[in-house]
């Protein structure tokens, strides 16, 4: 299992938070230097701590790093779901694959006791409990869940999105330069897929390499691609799903050592932090009314963190 260095990694990390589907780059100036190319931290089902019954299994060997891996024990032709309720009482419901393969899920509620339930479809919209357990977690690195892949931000060390991120930042010397390079590439290469936005189904998961290859996607895709790229470069990044007003939306938050986790797209005007959402700013051609709306952080409500 790969280990992060201690706080040294973060003392030289600067972050920018992005909520995007397309837009104009704004960024936080910084002279902080980035560390050398980080090791890709891949989730592992170590098999040391496995909670299971005859139907499903939960590998909690690396729960201290803020994730579990779950799977049904065999391939089946029925819908499966995983429900994780954390100490913060937020309920996360996921679809499990039907191939009996492990998938990674973050423990987004931090330290404490989690309820984990696997459900199997019995008919129509009815589900029965296949396996249920509780898990008490002591997370040793609060940033660890946001430096690894999971079901929503799914990539491996050899993924195209990781290779592209490394290519984009190869001549960059600071974290801010890396963030700017990834952002610029994303918004100038990808186009917003209006048709996909109209027809996307509940339970949709971004395929970041496919999005990169097709060079188009919806807001969820943009956020997943950027999150994967930034995590692969050692920058703690959260993919957030929530509401911008009454619109269901996806954006990303990244960690700034001096400020902690900052919500929404931000930049520093020399005196204060300002919030910006280029998704709306671009489509509204930066009208005064829209700029006032997106500049108010109260208009953004985070619901889930991945």
Q: Which stretches of the chain drop beneath a pLDDT of 70? A: 1-37, 175-176, 256-300
pLDDT for 173 equals 78
Q: Provide the pLDDT for residue 69.
A: 98
Q: What is the pLDDT of residue 190?
A: 86
The yes or no reply on domain 50-141 and CATH 2.60.40.10 is yes
pLDDT of residue 169: 92
Which of 3.10.620, 1.10.238, 1.10.3470, 1.10.1740 is the CATH number of 8-40+149-305? 3.10.620
Instruction: Describe the chain by its helix, strand, coil percentages, rounded to 5.
Output: 25, 30, 45
CB-CB contact of 276 with 299 (8 Å): no
Query: How much is the pLDDT for 256?
Result: 63
Q: How many CB atoms lie within 10 A of CB 9?
A: 17
For the chain, what are the domain ranges?
8-40+149-305, 50-141
On the question of a common fold for 8-40+149-305 and 50-141, the answer reads no
β-strands 216-217, 191-192 pairing: parallel
With contact defined as beta carbons under 8 Å apart, do 73 and 61 qualify? no
125 and 50 Cβ atoms separated by less than 8 Å: no
Residue among 259, 189, 199 nearest 222 (CA): 189
pLDDT of residue 87: 96
**Which residue's entry shows tokens 């300002």?**
274
The pTM of this model reads 0.79
DSSP 201-270: PTT----HHHHHHHTEE-HHHHHHHHHHHHHHTT--EEEEEEEETTEEEEEEEEEETTTEE--SEEEE-S
pLDDT at 92 (0 to 100): 97
């Amino acid at each position: 299992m790969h280990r992060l260095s201690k706080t040294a990694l973060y003392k030289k990390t600067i972050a920018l938070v992005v909520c995007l589907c397309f837009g104009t780059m704004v960024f936080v100036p910084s002279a902080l230097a980035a560390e050398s190319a980080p090791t890709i931290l891949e989730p592992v089902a170590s098999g040391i701590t496995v909670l299971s019954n005859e139907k499903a299994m939960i590998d909690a060997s690396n729960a201290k790093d803020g994730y579990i891996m779950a799977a049904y024990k065999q391939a089946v032709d029925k819908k499966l779901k995983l429900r994780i309720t954390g100490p913060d009482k937020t309920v996360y419901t996921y679809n499990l694959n039907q191939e009996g393969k492990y998938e990674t899920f973050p423990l987004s509620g931090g330290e404490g006791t989690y309820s984990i339930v696997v459900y199997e479809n019995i008919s129509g919209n009815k589900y029965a409990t296949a396996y249920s357990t509780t898990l008490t977690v002591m997370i040793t690195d609060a940033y660890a869940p946001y430096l690894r892949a999971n079901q929503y931000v799914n990539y491996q060390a050899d993924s195209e999105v990781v290779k592209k991120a490394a290519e984009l930042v190869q001549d960059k010397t600071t974290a801010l330069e890396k963030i700017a390079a990834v952002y610029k590439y994303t918004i100038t290469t990808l186009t917003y897929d209006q048709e996909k936005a109209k027809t996307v189904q509940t339970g949709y998961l971004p395929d970041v390499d496919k999005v990169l290859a097709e060079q188009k996607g919806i807001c969820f895709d943009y956020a997943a691609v950027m999150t994967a790229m930034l995590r692969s470069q050692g920058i703690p990044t959260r993919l957030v799903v929530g509401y911008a007003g009454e619109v269901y939306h996806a954006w990303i938050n990244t960690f700034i050592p001096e400020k902690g986790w900052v919500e929404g797209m931000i930049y520093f005007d020399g005196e204060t932090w300002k919030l910006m959402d280029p998704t709306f700013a671009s489509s509204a051609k930066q009208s005064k009314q829209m700029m006032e709306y997106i500049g108010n952080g109260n208009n953004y409500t985070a619901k889930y963190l991945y």
